[in-house]
Amino acid sequence: MPSIYAIPLAILLKYANIDITTTPLWSTLEYIKNGLVPMALLTLGVQLSKTKFDFKDINVNIAVFTRLILGPILAIVLIHAFGFFGVIAQTVLISCSVPTAVNTALIAVECDNNANFASQEVMVSTIFSCITLTSCIYLARVLFPV
């Protein structure tokens, strides 16, 4: 998990006013950054090819329901509780309605912790998010006009 090491290092470099964009190391870091998304999707694809999908798996369905339905409902409650409005409220609602991230499956594969479940959740939530995410975007524009 490189982020465990990268975040403290970034904070240290920030407070020490060290600009690494001028060092030869920067171009290497740019190549790594540009390769992250393709490698993540490739890894997810390999994991999905090994996964036997069961769309009747109650645990996957509960996880997807929680992520795509209860997440936005909770977001609306918190938006009203904290008094957010306008673009901030729209951003919070929309970001709480996105599907499960690919990182979930990658971390599950890396840690050897229920990778099939995580892969199924990513795929099923992504499939259903075409309906729920567009609905939440519309709802955000109606409930919190700019």
Query: CA-to-CA distance for 89 and 141, rounded, in angstroms?
Result: 10
pLDDT tens-digit series, residues 19-74: 988 888 899 989 988 998 898 888 888 877 887 777 788 999 999 999 999 999 99
Predicted TM-score (pTM) of this structure: 0.74
Beta carbons within 10 angstroms of residue 47's beta carbon: 21
Measured between alpha carbons, how far is 51 from 111 in angstroms, rounded to an integer?
17
pLDDT band at 105 (very low <50, low <70, confident <90, very high): confident
Q: Where are the domains of the chain?
A: 2-143
